[in-house]
């Protein structure tokens, strides 16, 4: 019984140590050259990868009473979840030539991927960069800079979340790549979103930065990465309405669409000078709100959203083909 009580106390102490350790790891990134931060994997479930059994076994070894001194170095007990390199073969419709592309996937784990990994060279190809971005990532931006003294990567993106009837926690799990090409994640910190106090446009952002030193051709240089991901509140679209207007702003036609079911290509009426896209939503109090976007003849595409079963709002693009006069 005393041993069980002591285990419970130790677990509580470890949780405090781990919280600080995880935050420090995300801010500092990886010190070793072979393990580089390459992005983030967002989950709504906490990924419990810490080896409590080994940690307790090492720290309680030889304990016979008195004060317990917990080892603050928990790095070697942090577990890793490795991704699988999945290969896809793409075939050109024009030439029939095939090309093989690699993608790192965390099989069996639901989440939102946003990272850029290097696929190692093989007998059939040289090494190359591949970007993994879930459809939930909107407004994604990736900038790569290669210089004589430094290389840098910056990544930004936004996930639009529709408030659900229950609270939900989103965990930002950092993703790393080792020198041998293997890709893995470690469990990250999270934050909770409620449903009754949220307003559209509220946003939470987290940035992960890492810098390391490398040697290329006998010359030292730095490698840095900054990954900024935001969670933004968006009320779920219930209806999309397209209003076509003539040059006198008179209504030509009105078309109602179900979100996510707009055509891939939209051809305005010959007399249309512009059109208005209305997105009908319902706020936290149940009142209908309408967001409007105007598209003129210089617009080549329009953007709309639909909500998934998990509450994530994904963006859809529709190409605009204006009639020639």
pLDDT computed for residue 27 by the predictor: 33
Measured distance CA(236)–CA(307) in Å, rounded: 6
Q: Which of 177-186, 212-221, 267-276, 304-313 has the lowest mean pLDDT?
A: 212-221
Of 32-36, 74-78, 273-277, highest mean pLDDT: 273-277
Contact 183, 256 (CB under 8 A): no
The pLDDT mean for the chain works out to 81
Residue 209 · residue 137 · CB < 8 Å: no
User: Among 70-79, 116-125, 142-151, 297-306, whose mean pLDDT is lowest?
Assistant: 70-79
Classify residue 16 by burial, with Cβ atoms within 10 Å: 0-12, 13-18, 19+. exposed
What's the pLDDT band for 309 if we cut at 50, 70, 90?
Answer: confident
pLDDT of residue 52: 67
Least confident of 119-123, 278-282, 310-314: 119-123
Predicted confidence (pLDDT) at residue 3 exceeds the cutoff of 50: no
Per-residue pLDDT reduced to its tens digit, 58-72: 766 555 555 555 555
pLDDT at 75 over 70: no
Among 41, 29, 25, residue whose Cα is nearest residue 225: 29
pLDDT more than 90, % of the chain:
47
**Distance, CA of 264 to CA of 239 (rounded, Å):** 17
pLDDT band for 2, please (50, 70, 90 cuts): very low
């Amino acid at each position: 019984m005393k041993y069980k009580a002591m285990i419970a106390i130790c677990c509580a102490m470890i949780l405090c140590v781990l919280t600080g350790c995880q935050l420090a790891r995300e801010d500092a990134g990886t010190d070793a050259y072979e393990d580089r931060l390459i992005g983030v994997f967002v989950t709504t479930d906490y990924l419990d990868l810490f080896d409590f059994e080994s940690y307790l076994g090492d720290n309680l070894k030889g304990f016979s009473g008195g004060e317990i001194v917990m080892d603050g170095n928990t790095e070697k007990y942090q577990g890793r979840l490795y991704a699988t390199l999945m290969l896809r073969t793409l075939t050109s419709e024009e030439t029939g030539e095939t090309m093989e592309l690699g993608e790192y996937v965390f099989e069996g784990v639901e989440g939102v991927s946003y990272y850029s990994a290097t696929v190692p060279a093989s007998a059939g190809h040289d090494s190359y960069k591949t970007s993994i971005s879930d459809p939930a990532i909107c407004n994604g931006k990736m900038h790569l800079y290669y210089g004589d003294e430094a290389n840098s990567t910056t990544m930004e993106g936004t996930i639009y979340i529709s408030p659900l009837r229950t609270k939900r926690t989103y965990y930002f799990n950092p993703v790393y790549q080792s020198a041998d090409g293997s890709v893995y994640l470690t469990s990250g910190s999270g934050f909770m979103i409620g449903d009754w106090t949220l307003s559209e446009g509220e946003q939470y952002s987290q940035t992960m930065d890492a810098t390391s030193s490398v040697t290329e051709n006998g010359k030292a240089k730095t490698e840095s990465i900054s990954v900024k991901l935001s969670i933004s509140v968006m009320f779920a679209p219930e209806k999309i309405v397209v209003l076509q207007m003539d040059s006198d702003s008179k209504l030509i036609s009105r078309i109602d669409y179900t979100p996510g079911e707009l055509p891939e290509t939209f051809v305005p009426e010959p007399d249309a000078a512009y059109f208005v896209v209305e997105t009908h939503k319902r706020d936290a109090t149940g009142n209908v709100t309408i967001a409007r976007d105007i598209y003129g003849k210089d617009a080549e595409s329009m953007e709309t959203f639909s909500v998934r079963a998990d509450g994530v709002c994904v963006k859809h693009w529709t190409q605009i083909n204006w009639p020639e006069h």
